[in-house]
Each structure stands twice: as C-alpha cells, then as structure tokens.
C-alpha cells in the first residue's frame, strides 16, 4: 500500500461545467432574503461522485513548532488574552485574528491544539474573509476532507454545512426518537487516514443554547488502570462509515463516496506531542477486533460511558457569531448540544460551516498501525 496522490477535489469551475449538475437546496430561500450569509446556506450536490480515498504522505504542522510558541503566545502583545477553560482540555484566545496568522504561528497553533484538544478563538473576522481564503487556511493543516453524505456550501463541497432552522429540521428529526441529542464522536473516524484538525465557524447562533462539548481522550486514557491500558494498547477497533451511508440513503440523501471501514488502534500516539489517547467513539466505533462479541460490547460500553460521563475531563463552549473553534480529532471526541427551540422566533437558527483536514494513518503503541 504505497503512498500515492489522492483524488483531487473538483474545482468550483469544473463543478459548474457539469451540464446536469443537480443541487438540492436544503433551505427555503424566501426565509433568508435578507440574511447576510445566504451564500453559505446548505445544499446537496447530487451529481458529483468521488472515488475511494487513497493513501497520502502527511507531516503534522505541530512537529515543526517551538514548544514555547513565542510568536503565537507573544507575552508582549498587550491585546492577547489566553485562558485555560479547564485544567485538562480547552484554551480560549482573544486579541488574535486567525486570518492574520503567519505560517510560524499556524505551526504553533497546531501544536497548541494537540496539547489542549480544542482552542476557541473569540472576536474573529474569519467568517467574512471569503470561501477561498477560508479553504486556504484549512489546507495549511492538511488535505481538506469532503463529507461523503453531508450538506455543504454551494461551490465549496469541502465546507461541510451545519444548519438547523425552521425550514430544515433534518438534523432534529434524526434524533427525535432519542432521549438526548448528545452524541460523542470524532469526525469521520472511519476514514483510512482520519481527520486531524477541524475548524468550526458559526454564522448565526440561537439566543441561548447550542453549545459544543469536548472530552480529552488523552486524560480519559490516563484515568484507566494500568492492566486495562496494557490490554487496550494491543487492540484495534473497527470504525465504520456504513451505518451513516445507509442512514443517508434511507432518508433519500445522496452518497457521494462509498463507505469504508478501518481498523484503528484503540490507543493512538500523537505525532507532535507523543501523548497516548483513546481512539474510540460512540459515533463510529463498532467492535473490537479479535474479541468475542460479548467481550467487545462490554469493553466498548465501558469506554463509551467513561468518555461521555467524565465531566472532569470535558469542556463545554458557548458560541457567538464571532467565534471559531479548532480541535484535534486525534485527542478529543465532541458532541453538539441541540437544546434550543428551532421553531422559536428568536432562537430558531443554528448555522455554520466545518472545515476538516485529514491527517496521518493512525499509529498506536509500539508501532501498532491501522489496517483495512
């Protein structure tokens, strides 16, 4: 399985050259006639198909960074405010624009995200710099992922759309039979080379609610007893995209790339920090390889409960429309918290876009690698 060049994402121009391109708009234009960010409203390209992803070389930007991060966390910058949101996960930064970072600062940011799990930037102009600059910023950290089934921004299939409003209740309906809307996951962890950094920008937020929660998978791993750690470090687990694709087809959605499964180490090692982290999540991890069904189910349920209920290694972040959050999927799991009323006149719109970058083939303890 030698590395090769992955399939190029079609440009906006080439997409529009497809004569029979079908775009299904997942919103009511009449309800957004005066909306500043109507350019970012959700659509589904129901024409463009993508081949399976292929292996590619990846070097984490954080490996190039000075651990002290002097240009990023400049003590002489009087406008800069850096706050740890909790002891183990989450840092908030004010007084620094993502859109103005140098390459050296971006390298240091990659390392900071790996160390703290999620970094929340306040007072940002990122949503207003334009789609091409937004994609360029994301591309600095890795190859941009195209979601196999999700809605996206028109002409920018790499910008995965986050939208829940009175004219599109799809996300709410999918969870209507559940006791809770929370669901911890690591973005598309079934990919053969799953995501590193994700960048989430919100354009419109409800008056209250709609927070996001993250859990440190590093701290969660560290809490486990040594005998169980030793067991987990030698195991792989199956991460599957098939249920997501099957659910999308059942709901009449277009699947632009056929689903895959991957067997990833349950404990992976981050290339920039050397830290060990759990790499399982309730969203996509289905079974532990080489264990009997009952053994796999019992162990996964233990880990899922540990991840979801350990509030002492979690952080909950409140959004506004000038906030951008960046997190590392290799060392965190996260959940949306959809606790707002989408039909309320003052609360009914949650809208943003997610840029997700692919990273290395996971490597675990003693060089244990992913297989597929």
Q: Class of 60-367 per CATH?
A: alpha beta
pLDDT higher than 60, residue 11: no
Band of pLDDT at residue 280, cut at 50, 70 and 90: very high
Stated pTM of the model: 0.93
Question: Which tokens go with 221?
Answer: 């791993």
The per-residue pLDDT for 340 is 85
The per-residue pLDDT for 30 is 86
pLDDT higher than 50, residue 194: yes
What residues does each domain of the chain span? 60-367
Band of pLDDT at residue 33, cut at 50, 70 and 90: confident
What is the percentage of the chain residues whose pLDDT exceeds 90?
Answer: 81
Report the b/e string of 239-261 with b at 16+ CB within 10 A.
bbbeebbeebeeeebbbbbebbe
Q: What is the pLDDT of residues 288-322, one digit of tens each?
A: 999 999 999 999 999 999 999 999 999 999 999 99
Report the b/e string of 142-173 with b at 16+ CB within 10 A.
bbbbbbbbbbbbbbbbbbbbbbbbebbeebee
What residues contact residue 223 under an 8 Å CB cut-off, 6+ apart?
306, 310, 313
pLDDT mean across residues, the chain: 92
Strands 156-164 and 81-84: unpaired
The per-residue pLDDT for 14 is 42
Closest to 326 in 3D by CA, of 38, 44, 61: 61
Contact 277/208 with Cβ under 8 angstroms?
no
The per-residue pLDDT for 17 is 43
Please classify residue 238 by burial: count the beta carbons closer than 10 Å to its beta carbon, then call 0-12 exposed, 13-18 middle and 19+ buried. Answer: middle
Q: Quick count: other Cβ atoms within 10 Å of Cβ 89?
A: 24
For residue 325, list its beta bridge partners.
120, 200
Stretch 356-372: mean pLDDT: 98
What amino acid positions are annotated as catalytic residues? 185, 187, 334, 354
Band of pLDDT at residue 2, cut at 50, 70 and 90: very low
The per-residue pLDDT for 8 is 44
Most distant CA pair in the chain: distance in Å? 60
Closest to 308 in 3D by CA, of 278, 286, 330, 338: 278
Contact 289/264 with Cβ under 8 angstroms?
no
Tokens 């993250």 belong to residue: 214
The per-residue pLDDT for 180 is 87
Q: What is the pLDDT of residues 337-349, one digit of tens each?
A: 988 877 766 666 8
């Amino acid at each position: 399985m030698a590395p090769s060049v992955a399939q190029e994402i079609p440009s906006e121009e080439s997409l529009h050259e497809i004569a029979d391109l079908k775009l299904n708009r997942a919103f009511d234009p009449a309800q957004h006639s005066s909306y500043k960010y109507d350019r970012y409203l959700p659509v589904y390209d129901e024409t463009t198909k993508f081949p399976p992803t292929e292996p590619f070389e990846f070097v984490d930007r954080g490996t190039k960074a000075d651990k002290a991060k002097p240009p990023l966390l400049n003590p002489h910058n009087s406008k800069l405010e850096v706050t740890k949101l909790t002891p183990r996960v989450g840092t908030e930064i004010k007084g620094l624009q993502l859109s103005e970072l140098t390459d050296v600062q971006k390298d240091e940011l990659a390392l900071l995200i790996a160390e703290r799990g999620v970094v929340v930037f306040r007072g940002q102009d990122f949503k207003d710099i334009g789609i091409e600059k937004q994609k360029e910023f994301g591309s600095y950290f890795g190859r941009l992922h195209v979601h196999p089934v999700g809605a996206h921004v028109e002409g920018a299939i790499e910008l995965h759309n986050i939208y829940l409003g009175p004219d599109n209740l799809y996300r709410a309906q999918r969870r209507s039979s559940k006791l809770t809307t929370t669901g911890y996951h690591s973005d598309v962890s079934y990919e053969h080379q799953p995501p590193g950094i994700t960048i989430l920008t919100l354009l419109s937020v409800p008056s209250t609610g709609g927070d996001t929660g993250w859990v440190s998978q590093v701290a969660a791993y560290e809490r486990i007893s040594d005998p169980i750690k030793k067991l987990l470090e030698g195991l792989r687990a199956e991460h599957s995209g098939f249920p997501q694709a099957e659910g999308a087809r059942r709901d009449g959605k277009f699947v632009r790339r056929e689903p895959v499964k991957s067997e990833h180490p349950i404990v992976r090692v981050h290339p920039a920090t050397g830290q060990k982290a759990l790499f399982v999540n309730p969203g996509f991890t289905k079974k532990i390889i080489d264990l009997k069904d009952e053994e796999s189910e019992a162990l996964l349920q233990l880990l899922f409960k540990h991840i979801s209920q350990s509030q002492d290694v979690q952080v909950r972040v409140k959004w506004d429309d000038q906030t951008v959050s960046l997190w590392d999927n290799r060392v965190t799991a996260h959940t949306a918290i959809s606790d707002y009323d989408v039909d309320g006149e003052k609360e009914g719109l949650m809208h943003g876009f997610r840029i997700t970058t692919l990273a290395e083939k996971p490597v675990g303890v003693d060089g244990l690698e992913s297989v597929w």
